[in-house]
Structure 1
């Protein structure tokens, strides 16, 4: 062991070095202590379960490789390869911070909004779909897909870290997850139910929202009369899409994945189809929009779409400034790759045509009424 990342009553996370090869590693430690934060099981039982899941996924390029499971007295140690990179939350924050630095020096906001530029966000959005699809193909539900559990490597690849909450689909499990990314059916204390793929779909929509707006999809209580979540997210996306190409392109998928009812959430195939038309280097080799210049591909919404935008005052803090000065900074993910200085500001990346952002508000209204 060379350094401590975190300590707790249950164990900790450490950095280390293989004395034979010199390779850097990450070490997760679990003591004989109840895993009180997530279940009544011994923390070592949870770590053994995570080690087994990592072995099942080893060689797939989805997770850090498990290198060893060592038991010593009342402690258990899981040794993992150390993957260079940064958390997805930190990746988004770095682009925001680069933009703020340019603005402070008298420059301009990259593409005018707080989102990640589409030329950078598109490969990540596609990669996230593929990542979830491959995990689900192996019969697993992540249950905690969040900006802290996705690592972006220097070459733009994606890895999943901290899989201790993942379980086989259909397993009866308690309510867990990160606020803003936890599905409504798993929100609230003492909830128990079967782990379903739709839980991860909801979280995936949250990651898309982060790419599109620079914010976690957290909404304050709406009083005195709560409006549908889809309508509120739709307004936020409409504001972001006025200047941000990523919000424009991902809005339909975000609203489809964030449906309150699990059986209304879009499939991964439908998500892929909804934004494949605007991925750089697509079928025609260019960044395309549909013929009408609308952010909503044909067939993206079931039923009629009301005309007009969702009007109203702009909520404080929605349209400007970074929400993540330092990123999410998940400790285990930070252990794999330490963040460097903020990267350069994103390039201006507006769409070839200027679509009516009111279409997003109309789409949100349609989704909210389903």
Structure 2
């Protein structure tokens, strides 16, 4: 397995221009995301079928040749389980690979579970056992070890023959167009703009709060989100989610009250005063400006029976199509479907996953008829 390490701009230009001569290239990234809000990019692997390059973004300052390749619509980019890779590309380059197909999705169209790992597929389709011991290594450390480099190179070296086998099977089964559609759907979901004003809706347990308590949680969650972006710190490293919920629940308008609720003392010392100000200001929110009580679907009358009915239909379609039930429609996607009918009155401008693309004819229309 031969590869080259790219640390100079002229080398990057050469490999990216060469890759643009091919119809298909393999891509992968290695990154670190422990305490940061944004993933820290440590390495990019590129394989065009002849040249395997390990591109070092720590050494390179100008990555425009790679961005050009990512956006070249005549070159198909192949990745595996690309969700977090997409975030990395969007954050670093302001774009995602296009067009793109995910081999994990391709495998799902052949009856594999949606979360089937790369090593498992390589073993099944190529008969090769991969060493995955470096998956949690520090990709920001320099120099990278030989073991790290070999591990990273293997991820795209074996991706190519695996992709070719999967593609033949997916095309023969008539799912190729659907696999491309599903890969695009993954991009649209992963790359979304978060409205800081709605950050409170992502707090687990927020549904338990009254509208008055939500009027406190909403600005607190907005503050925490903006602080995380500004400091590039994971949300819970700014202030723990459960602590934020309790500040709103118990109206903790002083550091003393926060400490009485056993909140992380370091976070209270750092942010107690700012949080207290937010809580005190929120106290004077006019009642008509309170956020609506968060109503969970599962608490609505008829939900449990309807969900079971939809799930049974998914199982039936799964047996007929050979596709895994979770891939056809996950719990989240079924809830999205119910919410679309019950809360959005079948708004055509915000179609759920089941009512788009390959799922529509296979499953969506059937589900739609079952929801009153």
TM over 0.5: no
TM-score, normalisation: structure 2 = 0.25
| Higher strand content, 1 or 2 | 1
TM-score by length of 1: 0.25
Q: Which has the larger radius of gyration?
A: 2
